[in-house]
Amino acid sequence: MKRALLVIDVQNEYFTGKLPVTHPANSLENVLQAMDAAQRRGVPVAVIQHAAKAAQSPVFQKGSPGWELHAEIGRRPRSVLIEKNWPDAFTETQLQSWLKNNGIDTVTVSGYMTQMCCDTTARRAFHLGYAVEFLADATGTLAFSNEAGTVTAEELHRAILVTQTRFSKVLKTQDWIERLGTS
């Protein structure tokens, strides 16, 4: 097994912008722990950065403060930085070719938001034939309301983790770090 850690959209928009992630409260710390462990163990790290495709989008405008990587992500070593414009990190990016060129057969998903870019990327990776690990406490979301109803951040996060079990091995960050020593 050769894995890569995907750090998806850990950008200021989710901390100081219009979409503050609230659950789990320690998700950023767990993303950072996963990155540090990957670095120690020689696991490649792909940092994925979302940029809005629509010029009028109120979030993730390229060059804006919300678009910038969280400072802690920006200062950590990474193998590659990939810009994306769609919820899944594969569409119209070099992620798949980078994974193939590096002999990666397993991707580990971390970052934001659980139900959007993390879920979509994990499902796409599964459909492309990769083994997928999904870090339950190194992904996160916020509460949502729309015409269909309201859901708390905790309920939404948990529901995605439950449904991810069809596509991914759902793990806590510490369990994933321990696995790095045995694989």
Residue 182 has pLDDT above 80, yes or no: no
Cα dihedral across residues 20, 23, 24, 25: positive or negative:
positive
Average pLDDT, the chain: 96
pLDDT, one tens digit per residue, over 111-170 is: 999 999 999 999 999 999 999 999 999 999 999 999 999 999 999 999 999 999 999 999
> Given this model, what pLDDT does residue 56 score?
81
Domain 3-180 has CATH 3.40.109.40: no
pLDDT value at 181 more than 90: no
Cα(113)–Cα(143) distance, rounded to whole angstroms?
Answer: 11
Tell me the pLDDT tens digit for each residue of 63-102. Answer: 999 999 999 999 999 999 999 999 999 999 999 999 999 9
Tokens of 60: 């993730």
Give me the amino acid identity at 156.
L
The answer to whether the CB of 35 falls within 8 A of the CB of 174 is: no
pTM: 0.97
> Which of 140, 30, 3, 11 is closest to 73 using CA atoms?
11
pLDDT exceeds cutoff 80 at 183:
no
